[in-house]
Amino acid sequence: MEHPVLMIPGPTNLSEDVIKALCQPMVGHTSQEFYNDFKEAHALTAKLFGSNPERTVLFSGSGTFGMEALFSSFAEPGERMLSIVNGYFGDRFAEIGSIYGLKVKSMKFEPGQEVDVDALKNELSRESYSFVTLTHVDTSTGTMNDLKSVGEVVKQYNAFFVVDMVSSLGCAEFNFDDGPVDYAFSASQKCVGAPPGAIMVALSKELIEKRSTVKGRSYYFDLKRWLPVMKDPSIYLSTPNISVLRALRVALNEVFEEGLENKIKRHQELGRMAYEFVVERGWKPLSKRPSPSVIAFDLGKPIADEVQKRVYKQGILIAKGLGSMSSRVIRVGYMGWTTKELLYNTLKKIEDAFNGL
């Protein structure tokens, strides 16, 4: 097999032009060429979030850096954080908060179950929290949480609303400046179709103001240090992942050439198609609603490993479940430039493998 097609929930397939940009000869990190490319990638990142470029940070790292950067830039040990958990990545957020010395409570829902807004209201009325964290699309279950209803409650109780958009930014409707989110982050290897290695963060004015009472707790992860670099990328803070950031610039241009609205619509259609296909075959989606970037479903028997191997032999990489049900669960990602044909072909190959076992 020459190269497998990636139908995992990130990293995703790259377009020819993104690959070309990734393979350019190296340029200096403070050179004019990189300066221009970075400026453009940064402006497009802000446009993707619907945020002000002055409060948008783009730097080298993976999605998890977005979690670390929140605590090291804006939190003091001892502050309270409520982590809403209905999948694998909510738990990770809680763990990282504890490492930074926050008093963390996890509000747990069954994986894939939507957030009970009344229970959240109840919790926030009993205890005061500085931060409430939520995963927009949890990649382990393919569940898309409703930012609006959760965010309204969080703001009612004056907590900072923090959202992990690693598997949603670029695939789902969102506008940072319309509220209610104070800190949103995403990563390059998912919905926008770039290679792994770039992290994107949008910040509210109020959160930036909070920094005046907070001591930064990291060198690299301190977003206060990165903000001036966004204005002038010739300032040296730490050598950026030049190739990835240049490839991201091309990928973001492709997003806006397709049109963000068109892209979001395409992902919604892909999500519906995958959901219907899975339900029609009698498999059980872990989420009650389609998500625009990933579907996770229970095959009903512990054959996920064998199904994955058989599909891989035909040139397509799919993912198994994360966590306790991994032996029965398959996950298919449809991020980046995925077409209906490619998704359908992938699902058919899963069906063939399933039927052959």
Ligand X SMILES: Cc1ncc(COP(=O)(O)O)c(C=O)c1O
Which residues of this protein are in contact with ligand X, per CB under 6 A?
A: 10, 62-64, 89, 135, 138-139, 164, 166-167, 187
Q: 12 vs 167, which CB is nearer to ligand X? A: 167
Least gap, CB of 64 to ligand X (angstroms): 3
Least gap, CB of 168 to ligand X (angstroms): 8
CA distance 26 to 24: 6
Closest to 57 (Cα-Cα) out of 71, 73, 45: 45
CB-based contact 298:238 (threshold 8 Å): no
- HSE-CB at 339 with a 13 A cutoff on CA atoms is 5
- The CA distances from residue 177 to 47, 50, 185, 202, in Å, are 11, 6, 14, 9
Residue 10 sits at φ, ψ, to 5 deg, of 90, 140
Q: 194 vs 353, which CB is nearer to ligand X? A: 194
CB-based contact 74:49 (threshold 8 Å): no
Least gap, CB of 341 to ligand X (angstroms): 25
Q: 37 vs 138, which CB is nearer to ligand X? A: 138
Q: 335 vs 353, which CB is nearer to ligand X? A: 335
Least gap, CB of 137 to ligand X (angstroms): 6
Q: 68 vs 79, which CB is nearer to ligand X? A: 68
Least gap, CB of 195 to ligand X (angstroms): 11
Q: 41 vs 162, which CB is nearer to ligand X? A: 162
Reduce the secondary structure of 301-316 to three states and give it as a string: CCCHHHHHHHHHHCCE
Kind of pairing between the strands at 294-298 and 329-333:
antiparallel
Least gap, CB of 240 to ligand X (angstroms): 16
Residue nearest to ligand X (CB): 63
Q: 72 vs 139, which CB is nearer to ligand X? A: 139
Least gap, CB of 224 to ligand X (angstroms): 22
Residue ranges of E strands in the chain: 5-6, 56-60, 80-85, 103-108, 131-135, 137-138, 143-144, 160-164, 183-187, 198-203, 284-285, 294-298, 316-317, 319-320, 329-333
CA distance 198 to 89: 18
CA distance 356 to 170: 36
Least gap, CB of 66 to ligand X (angstroms): 7
Least gap, CB of 169 to ligand X (angstroms): 10
Reduce the secondary structure of 240-290 to three states and give it as a string: CCHHHHHHHHHHHHHHHHHCHHHHHHHHHHHHHHHHHHHHHCCCEECCCCC
Q: 130 vs 291, which CB is nearer to ligand X? A: 291
Q: 164 vs 254, which CB is nearer to ligand X? A: 164
Least gap, CB of 290 to ligand X (angstroms): 17
Tokens 């090291």: give the residue.
Answer: 72
CA distance 80 to 69: 17
Question: Token digits for 47?
Answer: 């446009």
Q: 60 vs 64, which CB is nearer to ligand X? A: 64
